[in-house]
């Protein structure tokens, strides 16, 4: 798996997952439960990741949708 973005905005992550699902790209949310373990603080962002072989395609889709800078994934 390769990380696309980190964010605490679950609405944005859900939107990005929907965009990628339309293109048949499976996503995973990493660190989803870490904030619960740390007392629900927002200091620990969730990470949206895709399979390595789908990474470049996913990046292109998010750039085309205006959700990612052309310089690459935001970390």
Residue 29: which CATH number?
3.30.70.790
Number of domains in the chain: 1
Q: Give the helix/strand (H/E) hosting 6.
A: strand 2-7
Q: Give the distance, in angstroms, between the CA of residue 21 and the centroid of all CA atoms in the same chain.
A: 12
Whole-structure pTM value: 0.80
CA distance 36 to 44: 10
Residue 72 counted as domain residue: no
Please name every residue paired with 30 in a beta bridge, in sequence order, or none if there are none.
47
pLDDT in tens, the chain (75 residues): 999 999 888 899 999 999 999 999 999 999 877 756 665 556 778 899 999 999 999 999 999 999 988 765 554
Q: Please give the C-alpha separations between residue 64 and each of 5, 21, 58, 59, in angstroms, as whole numbers.
A: 15, 15, 10, 9
Please name every residue paired with 17 in a beta bridge, in sequence order, or none if there are none.
none
Domain around 24 = 2-64
């Amino acid at each position: 798996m390769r990380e696309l973005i980190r964010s605490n905005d679950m609405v944005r992550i859900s939107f990005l997952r929907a965009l990628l699902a339309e293109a048949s790209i499976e996503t995973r949310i990493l660190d989803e439960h870490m904030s619960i373990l740390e007392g629900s603080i927002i200091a620990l962002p969730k990470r949206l990741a895709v399979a390595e072989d789908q990474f470049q395609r996913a990046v292109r889709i998010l750039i085309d949708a205006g959700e990612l800078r052309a310089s690459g994934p935001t970390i």
